[in-house]
Structure 1
Amino acid sequence: MNSPMSGHRAFVPTLADRLVKAAMTTAGRLPGGLIRAIAGSPRQVDGQTLDPHFQAGLRVISLMAGGEYEDLALEEARETVERSAFTASGDRIDLAVVKDIILPLAGDDPARADLPGRLYAPVDTDEPQPMLIYFHGGGWTLGSVDSHDATCRYLAREGGLKVLSVDYRLAPEFQFPTAVEDTLAAFRYVRDNATELGVDASRIAVGGDSAGGNLAAVVCQQARDAGETMPAFQLLFVPATDMSARTASYETFREGFYLTKATMDWYEKTYIRSEDDRTDPRASPLLAKDFSGLPPAHVATGGFDPLRDEGEAYARRMSDAGVAVSLRRHASLVHPFVNGVGASPVAREALAQAVGALRMGLAY
């Protein structure tokens, strides 16, 4: 299913893609000990042991990929992300509502645009429901509602809430701060039209992974700074929080664990317009001067991830400012574990823990 006006072609899997997905789905149901023969000797770095499902998956992805994202043509890189997500997505989760919609955000502002989105709900009811507004990862350059379809289905089912996945505009066609403006406009639209959308206005969360986690964090900061009603909760998976510096985890996990330092460098250079953007809190929320008064948060990081340290630093800054934060490092997982619901029981457990934090934060 492709979002209307999404700006990308719907990914059409080949027979080989379907066979790989079937194999990874089957493997994802097996305990780690049985996968070890495929994965090889345990990889241990920084006192952590890589999940064998992801270790095996990394081998499969490396065989299927035509190169690192930064070395591919843009459309080929975007298709590669869709393919990787498809093969790790597992059996499709059926929900009562899965509907492509258009968010009417343009108004009279020529800089704004109506955006596609995908609405998920485990039940079809007129009663107001909690909602998670989800922003997909992909370095502000790749990814779509399609690449994160399985993730959003899982969150909607396990969380028992509506999920709205937003197809914000991507770089390099639309550089910083377009994605920030799109995601903030999407949150404001849901907040201001909650009744019409069947949403409980007091239980609206924002969330996302990687670049999407960055955007969710920035939406909360921007709403607070504008003196507006903020999201009630923020769900941040492996968030990018600082473009101005590189932490120790960038060097420790610079290559070999899906997200590489070189790829992250390419994402940032594609997204930002100038070096000055790196220190703008809308691009680097860790550089905000004030962390007080932000919504409660759950921050989930991956042990084998270049972004691990900056995500955890963001959680600590919020906690130090009095924000209620749960921080969970999933020590055996790599960066895109939210896309691995079909490939790893440990990834499913990580998302289940996040859902628990979300339900507690929204009190439903």
Structure 2
Amino acid sequence: MSKALELVQPFVESAAVRGIFALPRPLRRLIAGSPVRLDGQELALDAQLLLKLQRLSGQDRLSASSPELAREGMRRSTKLLGRTPLPGVVVAERRIPTPDGPLAARVYRPRELTEPGELMVFFHGGGWVIGDLDTHDDLCRFLALHTGIRVLSVDYRLAPEHPFPAAFDDCLAAYRYAVDNARELGTEPGLVSVGGDSAGGNLAASVALHATRAGLPRPNLQFLLYPAVDATTRRRSRELFGNGLLLTEEDVNWFADRYLPDVDQRADPRVSVLLADDHSGLPPAYVVTAGFDPLRDEGEAYAQRLAEAGVPVVSRRFPDLVHGFANLRAIGGRFQEALFEMVGTLRASLALHRTPTSDEDTVPG
């Protein structure tokens, strides 16, 4: 009986969450409490309500007493959202060979997309410690379907079992694989972009920097969703938003201690890409930040640094949202609204900065 209850419980909890978010706005406001205002911003009601429910359930942080428990917590939170896989997306499992062993990966393609086109190599978030292909399956499906591109999601090695630079090495190898096998993946070397959220945004930015400096084909675009780009400095946003807003100061330190146990390595540009000596010539960037996010200021500092180096940048802050909002699409409301705006800008950015290829006339735009 206990096993049956364990199987049923996530479905019951998921239904309860969906029911609460379906309530009329006055009732949702009553449950969430008075509006939260910080730094001239007001937290979206949907975000505040979610945070309230998390506090009531005792699941109000991403870190845990062990990496295994933290990973299970993220997987459980994913199930609680009750996601039904988005229709219209074809998904194929793949193995990426690397010098350190094969990596699991998935290719997402809109069903109607049969001609060659853009491909984004996507690196999931989770502080380099948690997260996997399944926790970011919904986001990758959404990006593929509504941006109209192929997405290659990479299951890189996690810390603390594999500390820095393991994740970076895996992600660079995955990018090389995508470029070397571009035609087989339905794309061209000049149509390969990189992207990721949080720690995945860190990895995408680091891969873009290294690929450019190493003489590899430069990514077409870097899509950085609330990225971590400086492991050496505690900025003002960490003081303002480091408690009770999904990603906490304690979480940030917990993740860093596991991925970067050697403090001297934290200034390495393969992790603190903001500290690189030269940002000129890097791929165009679309940098997304959230107003109530401890990582907000470093992400925006990176966008500014790129712009100062002459790199084309679109920087967009969603002032009423929290870190991790892209994984909350299934709740709908403000989260889904933000994602639709995001993919619209991403689609335009990819089209604007598309790298010409030698046989341009054979590859649809």
TM-score (norm 2): 0.90
Q: What is the deviation of 1:129?
A: 2.4
Q: Which amino acid aligns with 2:235?
A: T
Aligned to 1:151: 139
Change (3 A) 1:19 1:287: same
Residue 21 (str. 1) matches residue 14 (str. 2): yes
Distance in 1, Cα, partners of 2:18 & 2:307: 38
- For 2:148, which of 145, 151, 160 is the aligned residue? 160
Change (3 A) 1:22 1:105: same
Correspondence list, 1:107-146, <5 A: 112-123=100-111, 126-146=114-134
Distance in 2, Cα, partners of 1:282 & 1:89: 36
Aligned to 1:51: 44
Q: What is the deviation of 1:64?
A: 3.2
Contact 2:120 2:151 in 1 (8 A): yes
- Runs (5+) with no aligned partner, structure 1: 1-11, 107-111
Contact 2:61 2:246 in 1 (8 A): no
Contact 2:124 2:132 in 1 (8 A): yes
Residue 220 (str. 1) matches residue 213 (str. 2): no
Correspondence list, 1:78-93, <5 A: 78-88=71-81, 90-93=83-86
Contact 1:88 1:339 in 2 (8 A): no
Question: Looking at CA atoms only, which structure, 1 or 2, has the larger radius of gyration?
Answer: 2
Instruction: State the secondary structure of the residue aligned to 1:258.
Output: coil
Residue 310 (str. 1) matches residue 298 (str. 2): yes
Distance in 2, Cα, partners of 1:27 & 1:201: 46
Contact 1:232 1:361 in 2 (8 A): no
Residue 103 (str. 1) matches residue 91 (str. 2): no
Root mean square deviation, CA, Å? 2.0
Q: Which amino acid aligns with 2:75?
A: E
- For 1:274, which of 229, 248, 262 is the aligned residue? 262
Distance in 2, Cα, partners of 1:286 & 1:266: 21
Q: Which amino acid aligns with 1:101?
A: R
Q: Which moved more, 1:240-249 or 1:194-203?
A: 194-203
Contact 1:49 1:332 in 2 (8 A): yes
Q: Which amino acid aligns with 2:176?
A: R
Instruction: State the secondary structure of the residue aligned to 2:283.
Output: coil
- For 2:56, which of 38, 59, 63 is the aligned residue? 63
Distance in 2, Cα, partners of 1:194 & 1:139: 29
Q: Which amino acid aligns with 1:293?
A: G
Q: What is the deviation of 1:125?
A: 5.4
Instruction: State the secondary structure of the residue aligned to 1:230.
Output: coil
Q: Deviations over 1:32-86 (max 9, x none)?
A: 5663232221111111111111111112223334574444222111010112223
Aligned to 2:169: 181
Correspondence list, 1:177-326, <5 A: 177-326=165-314
- Runs (5+) with no aligned partner, structure 2: 352-364
Q: Deviations over 1:274-326 (max 9, x none)?
A: 11111101110110111111111111111111000000000000011111111
Q: Deviations over 1:245-294 (max 9, x none)?
A: 10001110110101000110010010014111111011101101111111
Distance in 1, Cα, partners of 2:338 & 2:81: 15
Q: What is the deviation of 1:131?
A: 1.1
Change (3 A) 1:312 1:294: same
Distance in 2, Cα, partners of 1:290 & 1:140: 25
Distance in 1, Cα, partners of 2:23 & 2:41: 21
TM-score (norm 1): 0.90
Contact 1:58 1:258 in 2 (8 A): yes
Contact 1:54 1:343 in 2 (8 A): no
Change (3 A) 1:199 1:64: farther
Aligned to 1:8: none
Contact 1:24 1:90 in 2 (8 A): no
Q: Which amino acid aligns with 2:51?
A: L
Aligned to 1:3: none
Change (3 A) 1:69 1:350: closer
Contact 1:102 1:115 in 2 (8 A): yes
Contact 1:89 1:339 in 2 (8 A): no
Contact 2:86 2:142 in 1 (8 A): yes
Q: Which amino acid aligns with 2:34?
A: S
Give % identity: 45
Distance in 1, Cα, partners of 2:123 & 2:296: 19
Distance in 2, Cα, partners of 1:172 & 1:144: 15
Aligned to 1:5: none
Instruction: State the secondary structure of the residue aligned to 2:177.
Output: helix
Distance in 2, Cα, partners of 1:220 & 1:89: 34
